[in-house]
Amino acid sequence: MKVFEHVSLKSYNTFGLEAKARYFAEITSLEAYLRLCESGKYAHVPHLFLGGGSNILLTKDIDALVLKMDMKGIEVTQETDSHIWVRAGAGVNWHDFVLYTVQHQWSGIENLALIPGTVGAAPMQNIGAYGVEIKDTFDHLEALNLETRILERFDREACEFGYRESYFKHAGKGRYLISSVCFKLAKKAELHTSYGAIQDVLQARGIAQPGIQDVANAVIEIRQSKLPDPKEIGNSGSFFKNPTVSAQEAQRLHTENPTIPSYPVVGSTDVKFPAGWFIEQAGWKGFRDGDAGVHAKQALVLVNYGHATGNQVLALSEKIKQSVRTKFGVSLETEVNIL
Ligand code: EPU
């Protein structure tokens, strides 16, 4: 495994922010990484694992060994009449994986098309979109315990998935390297088309009986119409989480803002509100200060128009939080990891 020094991370984060890694290497196999650990050569710095760099905000140079996950491979591990178990290496591009399953007519993750990032990073925050989260089809993952250097298997329960949450963001934070993820997909389409925008696109295309590919295509169309392509405008998708509040707090918000949209939270009396609505209503949609801005079509997405620094984006996010708190009494929580 070749280790480089003082490497620019600009092309390794979808925000396109400049920051340097003290050391940098690509992990193509677990064995190669274990050999590197055993050499003890880079034991004096922290090891930071990077997937697609699509959920980070770099605010400074990284005094660590940054390891880009590049473990590839997709394989079927088990099959029944109704289901198929498909395992992918942590470094597989998430959207490529979705397309692979769609092409094979395996159903379950088609609503998650075009989400940037890698398979290995997906369980960290239980990626989700258009009514589906990966926890719905997740079977298990394998992760290297960085202390014992033993490969451990985590089933769904062990991952403690929640809305944009998992064990790996809490008690397991910094302790594991996810090396592969296995999904249990359905051979017969089990489609989730109730999300309004999906219905609209299918209807506009005159598709009354959609298949897996149709749903994936609809999702791709919706995302392309609303979300900036990181290759063109730097961004990390939703910068904040959608806030969940108590029923009482929700009542206050509805009374004070009669047009506010909201969603029930399954298994709870709490109510979820779209952060994008608060940000838009607070006047930030399309805002730009230098090269840091708020996307004009989706206020939940902060963007780098070219040469913004991570700290400028961070400062903008703090102003947005403050303004939403003052106007609506709601605290926004950052979804992106600030480094
Ligand atoms: N809205 C506005 N103004 C905006 C944006 C949104 O008023 O500028 C309101 C509208 O009422 C809209 C509602 O918010 O109907 C929901 O908007 P949208 O469908 O775009 O979804 P979201 O709640 O803003 C979440 C995820 C996205 C995911 C979409 C679709 C989070 C933090 N974000 O966004 O995920 O693609 O739903 O399911 O939960 C990501 O995590 O990076 C991401 C893009």
The CA–CA distances, whole Å, from 212 to 101, 185, 203, 204 equal: 9, 12, 15, 17
Rounded CA separation 322/317 (Å): 9
Residue carrying the six token digits 């949609």: 285
Ligand 1, atom 24, residue with closest C-alpha: 276
Rounded CA separation 331/325 (Å): 6
Q: Is 261 a pocket residue for ligand 1 (Cβ < 6 Å)?
A: yes
Rounded CA separation 301/281 (Å): 15
pLDDT given at position 50: 97
Query: Is the pLDDT confidence value at 293 over 90?
Result: yes
- Number of other CB atoms surrounding residue 327 within 10 Å: 13
Rounded CA separation 185/113 (Å): 15
pLDDT given at position 266: 87
**Nearest CA-CA partner of 96 in 83, 115, 76:** 115
Ligand 1, atom 28, residue with closest C-alpha: 129
Q: Ligand 1 centroid vs 296 CA: distance in angstroms? A: 13
- The encoded tokens of residue 187 equal 């051979």
Q: How much helix, strand and coil, in percent to the nearest 5, is found in the chain?
A: 30, 30, 45
Q: Ligand 1 centroid vs 284 CA: distance in angstroms? A: 15
Residues 34-41, mean pLDDT to the nearest whole number = 94
Taking the CA of residue 125 as reference, the ligand 1 atom at the shortest distance is 41
Query: H or E stretch including 244?
Result: strand 244-245
Taking the CA of residue 111 as reference, the ligand 1 atom at the shortest distance is 38
Q: What is the DSSP letter of 315?
A: H
Residue carrying the six token digits 């940054």: 66
At 162, is the pLDDT very low, low, confident or very high (cuts 50, 70, 90)? very high
**Nearest CA-CA partner of 337 in 246, 269, 239:** 239
Residue carrying the six token digits 């098309």: 113
Residues 264-284, mean pLDDT to the nearest whole number = 96
Q: Ligand 1 centroid vs 300 CA: distance in angstroms? A: 7
Average pLDDT taken over every residue of the chain: 97
pLDDT given at position 129: 95
**Nearest CA-CA partner of 97 in 80, 62, 121:** 121
Is residue 45 within 8 Å of residue 63, measured between CB atoms? yes
At 39, is the pLDDT very low, low, confident or very high (cuts 50, 70, 90)? very high
Query: Is the pLDDT confidence value at 195 over 90?
Result: no
Specify the 3-state DSSP secondary structure of 276.
Answer: helix
Rounded CA separation 115/109 (Å): 11
Residue carrying the six token digits 């009482």: 248
Residue carrying the six token digits 């990181």: 230
Torsion over CA: 136, 129, 332, 166 (sign): positive
Convert the pLDDT of each residue in 41-71 to its tens digit. Answer: 999 999 999 999 999 999 999 999 999 999 9
Query: Is the pLDDT confidence value at 166 over 90?
Result: yes
Residue length, the chain? 339
- Cα angle at 280 between 315 and 327, to 5 degrees? 75
Q: Is 211 a pocket residue for ligand 1 (Cβ < 6 Å)?
A: no
pLDDT given at position 305: 98
pTM: 0.95
- Number of other CB atoms surrounding residue 73 within 10 Å: 12
The CA–CA distances, whole Å, from 134 to 34, 96, 219, 292, 334 equal: 28, 15, 15, 31, 20
Find all residues with CB under 8 Å of 195, minimum gap 6, and list them: 111, 130, 131
Rounded CA separation 107/98 (Å): 10
**335 is annotated as an active-site residue:** yes
Query: Is the pLDDT confidence value at 40 over 90?
Result: yes
Query: Is the pLDDT confidence value at 196 over 90?
Result: no
Domains in the chain with CATH codes = 4-69 (3.30.43.10), 74-186 (3.30.465.10), 234-338 (3.90.78.10)
At 101, is the pLDDT very low, low, confident or very high (cuts 50, 70, 90)? very high
